[in-house]
Amino acid sequence: MQRLRTFLDGHCDNTAVVEIIDGLMVACKDIAYRLHLGSLAGVLGSAEQENVQGECQKKLDVISNDLIKDCLAAIPSVKGLASEEEELPVACNASGEYLVLFDPLDGSSNIDVNVTVGTIFSILKAAADSDAATEAAYLQSGKQQVAAGYVLYGPSTLLVLTTGDGVFSFTLDPRIGEFVLERQNIRISETTQEFAINMSNQRFWLPEMQQYVSDLLQGEEGPLGKRYNMRWIASMVAEIHRILTRGGIFMYPYDSRDPGKPGKLRLMYEGNPMSMLVEQAGGMASTAFENIMTVKPEGIHQRVSVVMGSSQEVETAISYHVKN
């Protein structure tokens, strides 16, 4: 039973990145503990305030954000951090070499109904002369990530991680308070008959996406020639974990409700780290028009459309958008 720190020491030769991941998990264990206590810990319900995205925050959104910030700020190699919940990044240690971006609690609308949520993180190398208190320091493409991962808080608490050499899964053993290695070199099946999308937004999608999903729903009688099942959990962590476990395609496409926003999900906090994991596991991640990790970010809260998962199905979805 290999513990996370032992695995990292043997698998990653970057001691600073090892320290960051190990330190970040201290906060995630605390979040997991509070989630398991639920209402007994007083973490359910609204915080009665909005985040920078204009979304109503849950109490645990705020708590999780503060826990992660405090843990990261105490790690010498962390030069700065940026949270999906806050408008501006935060400078930490002037001599630090790395920047950490995170979504402290993905899917937080699920908290009060006791459904899966998660934490997503991305680690970037900081330029030596960069100012970690400014957005410019963080505006790197997803291809420049040195590590990415998520923690899934469900019936068991799982860490899924890549440092650029495969994808690995760890389970939090509450008996010893440590993450232990569970799955190695995870691979996503190339084909699938399962898709995840929020169908309530269908009328706002581009015609190409509407046609693709319509063809999915036609099953064996349709042009794709096979029956599909649909899933939707309203937590990107849960959706991507299912894909890493048994294949599938997850989509949060562009829609016309706000023409100024190319999607709902955030490039830096969700799109890039999840794309790195999916690609490292042999899948594909696209906006439906280009690789997500090649998108040049213009702001730390930039949004992006997302189509990711089993490679053959993602290629099929892309073909609907670029065939003309």
Q: Is 54 annotated as a binding residue?
A: no
Q: Is 270 annotated as a binding residue?
A: yes
Q: In one letter, which amino acid is 44?
A: L
Q: Is 23 annotated as a binding residue?
A: no
Q: Is 264 annotated as a binding residue?
A: yes
Q: Is 286 annotated as a binding residue?
A: no
54-60 contacts at long range (C-beta below 8 A, 24 or more positions apart):
57/85, 57/108, 58/105, 58/108, 58/109, 58/111, 58/112, 60/31, 60/34, 60/35, 60/105, 60/108, 60/111
Helix (H) or strand (E) holding 101: strand 98-106
Q: Is 110 annotated as a binding residue?
A: no
CATH 3.40.190.80 residue window(s) in the chain: 194-322
Instruction: Tell me which residue of 61, 176, 41 sits closest to 117, measured CA to CA.
Output: 61
Pick the CATH number of 4-183 from 3.30.930.10, 3.30.540.10, 3.40.47.10, 3.40.50.620: 3.30.540.10
The answer to whether the beta carbons of residues 305 and 262 sit under 8 Å apart is: yes
The answer to whether the beta carbons of residues 295 and 168 sit under 8 Å apart is: no
Tokens of 130: 């960069």
Q: Is 106 annotated as a binding residue?
A: yes
Q: Is 165 annotated as a binding residue?
A: no
Q: Is 315 annotated as a binding residue?
A: no
Tens digit of each residue's pLDDT, the chain (324 residues): 899 999 999 999 999 999 999 999 999 999 999 998 877 767 666 555 656 565 656 688 899 999 999 999 999 999 999 999 999 999 999 999 999 999 999 988 887 888 899 999 999 999 999 999 999 999 999 999 999 999 999 999 999 999 999 999 999 999 999 999 999 999 999 999 999 999 999 999 999 999 999 999 999 999 999 999 999 999 999 999 999 999 999 999 999 988 878 888 999 999 999 999 999 999 999 999 999 999 999 999 999 999 999 999 999 999 999 865
CATH 3.30.540.10 residue window(s) in the chain: 4-183
Q: Is 103 annotated as a binding residue?
A: yes
The answer to whether the beta carbons of residues 313 and 249 sit under 8 Å apart is: yes
Q: Could you tell me the fold of the domain covering 194-322?
A: D-Maltodextrin-Binding Protein; domain 2 (3.40.190)
Q: How is 52-70 classified by DSSP, letter by letter?
A: TTSPEEEHHHHHHHHHHHH
CA distance 120 to 103: 5
Q: In one letter, which amino acid is 232?
A: W
The answer to whether the beta carbons of residues 82 and 99 sit under 8 Å apart is: yes
- Four-residue CA torsion sign, 188, 193, 194, 200: positive
Residue 223: count of CB within 10 angstroms of its CB: 10
Q: In one letter, which amino acid is 173?
A: D
Q: Which residues contact 148 (CB under 8 A, 6 or more apart)?
A: 120, 121, 122, 123, 161, 162, 272, 273, 274, 276, 277
